[in-house]
Chains A and B, each alone.
Chain A
Amino acid sequence: MKCPECGYEAPVASFRYLYNARIDASVSIRQCTRCQAWLAIDELQGTANKKIGPGEAPWGKSAGIEDLAEDIRPGK
């Protein structure tokens, strides 16, 4: 996987796993061990999508009435 911020390349597991605020999505946050940037990772694809800044929500918005989150139940 390649860090979009500094270009560092290494296996996904070499990027420090931070957390996945949305347990039911395959997007997580990992930290580049070279430039320390927080990255949004697609865990299924094993790719780093982008650097995360303050206030950014790479996993989508809250679930619920406002229906802003992607409905990921099977068959939906």
Chain B
Amino acid sequence: MGETAETLKEFEQKQEWWWAAEKKRSRRLDYLRKAMWKKGAIGGLYPAGLYIDLERPVMQTEKAKELEYSPDPYVIKFAKILAHVLDNKTIFITDHSQLVGYLGSLPNMITWDPTLAAILNHEVVNDPTSIPEPMDESLKIISEVTGYWAGKSDLDKILPHMDLDDAMKVLSGAVGWGVPLSRGGYSGKDYEYIMTGVRAFEDIIAELDRKIDEADEKAHEPGATREICDLYDKMNMWEAMKITLEAGIRYGKRYARLAKIIAENFEADNDRRQELLQIAEVCERVPAKPPRTLQESLQYDLFIQLFSRNEAIEGAWPARPDYYHGPYYERDVNIEKTLTKEDALDLAGEFLIRAAEVSQYKVKWAREGLQGIEGTWVWTLGGVKKDGSDACNGMTIALLQAARLVRVANPTFAFRWHPKVKDNVMREIFECIRQGLGYPSIRNDPILIANAMNWHGHPIEEARTWVHQACMSPSPSTKHGFQPMRMANATANCAKIIEYVFTSGYDHIVNMQIGAETPDAAEFTDYQQVFDAWVTQMKTIFSILVRPVNRARMLAPKMTPRPFLSAVSERSVESGLDVCDPSINRGNAWITAFTWVENADSLAAVKKLVFDEKKYTMAELKDALANNWEGREEMRLDFVRNVPKWGNDDDYVDGIMLDCLHAAAKFSRELKCPSGNNWPILPENVSGNIHYANIVGALPNGRRLGDALYDGGISPGPGLDKKGPTAVLKSCSKIDHITDGRAFLLNQRLSPTQLAGEKGYQLWKSYMKTWADLGLDHVQFNCVSDETLRSAQRDPEKYQEVIVRVAGYSAHFVDISRKTQDNIIQRTVQGLG
């Protein structure tokens, strides 16, 4: 024991937190963490040992064929296919686990949904690393499955109903990122309906039966009205919801039976036998009935997440686990004392691990844009309750502590800071940051609640329930406030705005006219003409991205329904309408603005060097950009070094940033979602700054084609913020974080040596006070030294567990590309104090 304690101390002194965590965590967590298969793609490819799971595609295809000529409406056929999968998929229980359920048939399998898009299926066929052996047999199955779904998949069905010009521009990959599908994006959940302990699946089924009976009775009364016509579709939708809920209950009971069989026939260890019987009892209970304990609550939540991901590819995991599981923690740990804090910590840690291993096969651009992780599982902690009081509880602490023990890169946390947060919670957050997790990111709750009310008109009680729908965007978890699907293609590669100013909208990377045909930039005679062209390109690009999403949202209820997600949504259970139906949704849309800051820095460079100082002409600049700055290194450096850069509290460039944001905010109110609400912008990047490196041409900020773009949101360019952390905060504080956009990501890098000990905590706390006083809505930190990161590049095997904050998410450093690694290392290390 003495030796172990000493070793732990040594690891902590050396700030090798990953080895310290291994020493600190329980034997159970240690086993489960090591038994977990990381699913994030390295660069753009899945790592060795992970394989595409063919079990579910085969089941989906066989059931679809069986139902092809049945008289069932599509939504019921779809529900039956989902039920068939849940009833027949292989299930397993990991040794030492207390929570069960996985998407695939084995822990190292990545699930593939062939019903979504032919473009995804083509990638499966051509995947160089993940097709399971024996290859010939697998390829035969893949060929049969993809052949069946060609023309029948969601995207294949939806695309002909789109504006094909818009669709082609989106699918070019130059300006957008993602596809407009209700089964491929970020699904919010109506947690206020499903996770408050009031009801579970059996209660909802009883409600659906009542709805169907009432409608059936009404449909057969004397008379004929439009309302009666609509009832038939509603009855089908309610029936489909019921099919999925019943399948979910059966799935839980399959696990109960399996746990019991293992306990009674195979398990020799008495303690483990009792745990298996406990699992059996839990899975008999949930999801059929509301949970009673922390274990049941976590298991119930996990089942819901898995069912939803059996229905759709969900690229995010909006959740508020401390808020919804906290009451069970309080009951089990503090009131009835059926669990110790250590027991609860084990459950919290295992919940993180179970989420971390969830995996769905994605197209390569999605893997590149989210290097090292499976999706943006950004879980929301802290914040206020509906009445405005502090929502932090014992589960908040348990999750923060568990994160440091299991050190998964996904899920990560985002903490809703507000003035009533207690010091002990802030210390736990600081420990996570200091120990290099890169999370939680910190969100300014009062600002973001006001922002939600300003942009989308959410009432204050609903705005206070907000969760992160993806990396950054707040969305309420209420009946009308939650957004069932955020379609990822409303993600703008904003550096193209300034690029197109110089090409009159022609994209030389994909060789097509995408932007507006603005006048020849070489002929511009003043800065206002440049800015006017910028506004025109901005409006054009945003419109190209938003129109397909709006169209897909209108088509989704009939063409790509979500019966399960509808079944756990009050507004759908009540109305009989699909959860994506815009008429029952308040609307919470946003345009993710990738690669945003390049615009301000580029415009400032043009204004200063071309029009203020007249050092270069627009024609010279246009020519330099067209030639990727080749042979113009001195000129390029002039555009980098001798003009003000965003993040240095310089009004020259900061004013241009505000001009851009105000123009975008004004246009955001002209763009409307099908629910009639606004489309504010949200600058952030994930690892899109690397994905777009070879897609964005040379820019006036001195960037060449191939260079990484800035790391995103409103973060200054790496190494270009030379005046310290307060200047960065002051630049960012010139933005109105309530009215200028939906949220603004800020990456900051801190020195691990400076954050050591109590002094480090006090420095950070003081920084956070300035951040809050200045009214910023977001900040996140990297706290790993250059030395460690360079060592990890040299010797990745020894540094497998080093985590870094990429943008809106964290990843293991060794799982991201060299270019991304270098980009993170080059971020300015800010000195506090």
**B interface secondary structure, majority:** loop
Question: In the complex the two chains form, what is the Cα distance from A67 to B719 in whole Å?
Answer: 11
Q: Which residues of B contact A8 (CB under 8 A)?
A: none
Interface centre among A23, A64, A69, A72 (most CB of B within 10 A): A23
Contact of B830 among A19, A65, A71, A72 (CB under 8 A): A65
Chain A residues whose C-beta falls within 8 Å of the C-beta of B503 in the assembled complex:
none
Of the residues A24, A55, A68, contact of B791 by C-beta under 8 Å: A55
B786 touches A73 (CB 8 A): no
The answer to whether A34 has its CB under 8 Å from any CB of chain B is no
Question: B633, B702, B829: which contacts A62 (Cβ < 8 A)?
Answer: B829
Q: Could you tell me if A21 and B722 are in contact, using CB atoms closer than 8 angstroms?
A: no
- CB pair A65 B706 closer than 8 Å: no
Chain A CB within 8 A of B718 CB:
yes
Q: Beta-carbon contacts of A18-49 to B below 8 Å, as 1s and 0s?
A: 11111110101000000000000001100000
Residue B708 interfacial (CB < 8 Å): yes
Which residues of B771-808 are within 8 A (CB) of A? 786, 790-796
Q: Does B537 contact A (CB under 8 A)?
A: no
Do the beta carbons of A26 and B751 come within 8 Å of each other? no
- B749 and A21 contact, CB distance less than 8 A: no
A10 at the interface (CB under 8 A from B): no
List which A46-76 residues lie within 8 A (CB) of chain B.
Answer: 53-57, 59, 61-66, 68-69, 71-74
Measured in the bound complex, the distance between the Cα atoms of B637 and A20 in whole Å is 12
Find chain A residues with CB under 8 A from B339 CB: none
Chain B, residues 703-740, CB within 8 Å of chain A (1/0): the string is: 11111100000000111111000000000000000000
A56→B789 CA distance, assembly (Å): 11
State whether B754 touches A73 (Cβ < 8 A).
no
- Which size bracket describes the interface of B in this complex? 35 or more
B637 touches A64 (CB 8 A): no
A55 contacts across to B, CB distance below 8 A: 790-795
What does the 1/0 interface line of B385-419 toward A look like (CB < 8 Å)? 00000000000000000000000000000000000
B828: contacting residue among A28, A64, A71, CB under 8 A: A64
When distances are taken between beta carbons in the complex, the residues of chain A under 8 Å from B822 are 19, 21, 57
Question: Is B161 an interface residue, CB under 8 A from the partner?
Answer: no
Shortest distance between the CB of A33 and any CB in chain B (Å):
15
CB-CB under 8 A from A54, the residues of chain B are: 793-794, 796
CA distance A31 to B751 in the complex (A): 33
Q: With A55-B794, A74-B642 given, is the CB distance from A23 to B720 under 8 Å?
A: yes
Within the assembled complex, what's the spacing in Å between the Cα atoms of A59 and B825? 11
Which of B631, B642, B708, B754 is A19 in contact with, Cβ under 8 Å? B708
Q: Give the docked Cα–Cα distance between A17 and B694 (Å).
A: 11
| CB closest residue in chain B, given A16 | B706
Q: Are B831 and A62 in contact, CB atoms less than 8 angstroms apart?
A: no
B215 proximal to A (CB < 8 A): no
Interface membership of B826, Cβ < 8 A:
yes
Q: Does B210 contact A (CB under 8 A)?
A: no
The answer to whether A65 touches B719 (Cβ under 8 A) is no
Nearest residue (CB) in B for A20 is B707
Known: A63-B722, A66-B829, A68-B786. A23 touches B791 (CB 8 A): no
Give A9 to B625 CA distance when docked, in angstroms.
26
CA distance A24 to B601 in the complex (A): 13
Of A17, A21, A64, the contact of B708 (CB 8 Å cutoff): A21
A17 to B822 CA separation, bound complex (whole angstroms): 16
Residue pair B702, A63 in contact (C-beta under 8 Å): no
| Closest A residue by C-beta to B640 | A24
Task: Give A24 Cβ to nearest chain B Cβ, in Å.
Answer: 5
Q: Is B456 close to A, CB under 8 A? A: no
Chain A residues, CB < 8 A from B831: 64-65
**B641 at interface by CB-CB < 8 Å:** yes
Report chain A residues within 8 Å CB of B717: 23
The reply to whether A23 and B829 form a contact with Cβ atoms under 8 Å apart is no
* B611-651 interface code vs A (CB 8 A; 1 in, 0 out): 00000000000000000101101101100111000000000
Q: Give Cα A12 to B632, complex, Å.
A: 12
Chain B 800-833 interface mask (CB, 8 Å, partner A; 1/0) = 0000000000000000000100110111111100
B371 within 8 A of A: no
Q: Does B693 belong to the interface (CB within 8 Å)?
A: yes
Interfacial chain B residues near A59, Cβ < 8 Å: 826
Query: CA–CA, A74 to B722, complex, Å?
Result: 13
Q: Is B299 an interface residue (CB 8 A)?
A: no
- Docked-complex contact A19 and B819, CB < 8 angstroms: yes
Residue B701 lies at the interface, judged by CB distance under 8 Å to chain A: yes
Q: Which of A13, A26, A54 has the most chain B CB atoms inside 10 A of its CB? A: A54
Q: How far is the CA of A52 from the CA of B703 in the complex (A)?
A: 21
A63 touches B828 (CB 8 A): yes
Within 8 A of A (CB), among B301-347: none
Query: Which of B703, B722, B751 contacts A23 (CB under 8 A)?
Result: B703
Closest to B832 in A: A65
Q: Are A23 and B701 touching (Cβ within 8 A)?
A: yes
A21–B707 Cα distance when bound, in Å, is 7
- Complex CA distance for A65 and B830, rounded to whole angstroms: 6
Closest Cβ of chain A: how far from B716's Cβ, in Å?
Answer: 10
Chain A residues within 8 Å of B703, by CB: 23
A43 & B633 in contact (Cβ 8 Å cutoff) = yes
- Residues of B near A72 (CB, < 8 A) are 641
Could you say which residues of chain A place their CB within 8 Å of the CB of B826? Answer: 21-22, 59, 62-63
Shortest distance from the beta carbon of B533 to any chain A beta carbon, whole Å: 24
Bound complex: CA A22 to CA B707 (Å): 9
With a CB–CB cut-off of 8 A, which chain A residues contact B637?
A: 24, 26, 44
**A74→B641 contact, CB < 8 A:** yes
Nearest chain A CB to B44 CB, angstrom units: 16
> In the complex, A12 Cα to B751 Cα: how many Å?
37
Q: How far is the CB of B64 from chain A (nearest CB, A)?
A: 45
A38 CB, nearest partner CB in chain B, Å: 9
| Residues in A whose Cβ lies below 8 Å from that of B702 | 23-24
Whether B794 pairs with A69 at a CB distance below 8 angstroms is: no
Which listed residue, A19, A44, A56, A62, touches B707 by the CB 8 Å rule? A19
Can you sample 11 A-B contacts with CB below 8 Å? A12-B630, A21-B822, A21-B826, A54-B794, A55-B790, A55-B791, A59-B826, A63-B719, A63-B829, A64-B830, A66-B829
Beyond the given A24-B719, A54-B796, could you list 20 further A-B residue pairs with CB under 8 A, ordered by the A residue number? A13-B631, A19-B704, A19-B819, A21-B826, A26-B637, A57-B825, A59-B826, A61-B786, A61-B825, A62-B749, A62-B786, A62-B827, A64-B751, A64-B830, A65-B754, A65-B829, A66-B751, A66-B829, A69-B719, A73-B641
9 nearest A-B residue pairs (beta carbon): A65-B831, A55-B794, A64-B829, A55-B793, A21-B822, A63-B719, A64-B828, A43-B633, A63-B828
